[in-house]
């Protein structure tokens, strides 16, 4: 369980590298969620 928690914490740390997610520029939730999905895809391709 601790290993899984560590993976989640590292994921959030990597997502904070995307400034648009961290500072929440988009006002529409659909656009915000779309950018989160985009960031996860970019992270998975690394």
Under the banding of pLDDT at 50, 70 and 90, the label for residue 15 is confident
Please, is 9 exposed, middle or buried when counting C-beta atoms within 10 Å of its C-beta (0-12, 13-18, 19+)?
exposed
Length of the chain in terms of residues written: 46
Rounded distance, CA 41 to CA 9, Å?
Answer: 17
3-state DSSP: the chain helix, strand, coil percent, rounded to 5? 80, 0, 20
pLDDT value, residue 7: 87
pTM of structure: 0.62
Q: Which residue has the higher pLDDT, 17 or 9?
A: 9
Q: Is the dihedral of CA 23, 26, 30, 31 positive or negative?
A: negative
Contact, 6 vs 14, CB < 8 A? no
């Amino acid at each position: 369980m601790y290993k899984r928690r560590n993976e989640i914490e590292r994921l959030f740390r990597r997502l904070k590298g995307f400034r648009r997610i961290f500072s929440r520029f988009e006002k529409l939730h659909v656009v915000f969620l779309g950018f989160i999905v985009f960031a996860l895809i970019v992270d998975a391709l690394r």
